[in-house]
Structure 1
Amino acid sequence: MNNQRRNQLRDIQQELRDIYARLDVLYDEEQAAYDNTPESLQDSEQGEQAQNAIDTIETIRDQVLEAADGIDEIFD
């Protein structure tokens, strides 16, 4: 791999890590909001939708980190 493509991959990796950090903050905020919601609302359809959104954010966040880490394997 030439240096130009290697540098592009490093840039992409950094962008992925930045996206991961943003998703992590969003996840924490959404989880805190859900945790501060009364149980009666947590058990409602709206609460279930909120929990599903939190779970999806967590999954995406983890996949982004896996992608960033996967780029490391190219350089090993």
Structure 2
Amino acid sequence: MTEQNPDKDVDDWVTGEEPATGPQLSYLRTLAREAGEDVPEDLTKARASQMIDRLQGKSPRTAGREDGGDQAS
């Protein structure tokens, strides 16, 4: 099994200039709505990932969480 590096610079992604994926856009819209921001229409995978990282820091659900995920109750 190949181990992936989640910290790889998005500018080095082979597919970074492809359009953002459906799951990226869905999650991004949720975070943007919580932050009172808009999601640009023509996001690439790389830029969507960067925006997700930035907005996770603003979200009350994910701010301060290393993994950015929801805590189980």
TM over 0.5: no
- Larger RCO (alpha carbons 8 Å, 6+ apart): 1
| Higher helix proportion (structure 1 or 2) | 1
With normalisation by structure 2, the TM-score equals 0.29
